[in-house]
């Protein structure tokens, strides 16, 4: 649920088929989406209180980038970037904080999870042995 790339790697390590790994990766992301969409309001209040307690500025380089992505692309843009740049938890909290309706959050996060899961699992299943051999050849 936390790191999207972990699903395909764990799928290969567990000996799952491609389809099983894709479905479990999607299920993991969507579990995070459901939980943190529901908890989004509570999380936003907690983050705001934490920021006030630390006297952190609201805007910094990272938050400005997130706002720019939101203004340009909305829910679909954040959903597209969630599995590879944000974590499913952080991406869901971002769209929830911007006030996106739950229906749109679920729909866009679902297609994003399906697309990225298929792509990342394909990469791991097709090129995983190359990466494994490369890692094994490196002496730490």
For the segment 74-117, what is each residue's pLDDT rounded down to a tens digit?
Answer: 899 999 988 888 888 888 888 888 888 889 999 999 999 999 99
Structural domain containing residue 72:
6-137
On whether residue 99 sits in a domain, the answer given is: yes
Number of domains in the chain: 1
* Continuous H helices in 39-81: 40-54, 61-81
Q: Compute the C-alpha angle 62/39/59, nearest 5°.
A: 20
pLDDT at position 13, please? Answer: 79
pLDDT at 63 exceeding the cut of 60: yes
On whether residue 1 sits in a domain, the answer given is: no
pLDDT at position 1, please? Answer: 45
pLDDT at position 138, please? Answer: 67
On whether residue 58 sits in a domain, the answer given is: yes
- Cα–Cα distance list, 123 to 5, 15, 22, 65, 116 (Å): 11, 16, 12, 28, 10
Q: How far apart are CA 62 and CA 139, in angstroms?
A: 35
List pLDDT tens digits, range 30-53.
999 999 888 876 777 777 787 777
């Amino acid at each position: 649920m936390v790191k999207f790339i972990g699903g395909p790697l764990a799928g290969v390590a567990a000996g799952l088929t491609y389809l099983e790994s894709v479905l479990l990766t999607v299920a993991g992301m969507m579990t995070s989406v459901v939980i943190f969409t529901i908890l989004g309001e509570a999380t936003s209040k907690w983050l705001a209180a934490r920021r006030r307690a630390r006297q952190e500025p609201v805007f910094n380089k990272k938050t400005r980038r997130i706002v720019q992505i939101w203004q340009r692309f909305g829910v679909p843009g954040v959903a597209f970037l969630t599995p590879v740049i944000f974590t499913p938890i952080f991406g869901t909290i971002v769209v929830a904080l911007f006030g996106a309706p739950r229906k749109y959050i679920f729909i866009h996060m679902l297609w994003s999870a399906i697309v990225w899961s298929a792509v990342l699992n394909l990469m791991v299943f097709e090129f995983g042995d190359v990466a494994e051999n490369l890692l094994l050849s490196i002496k730490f």
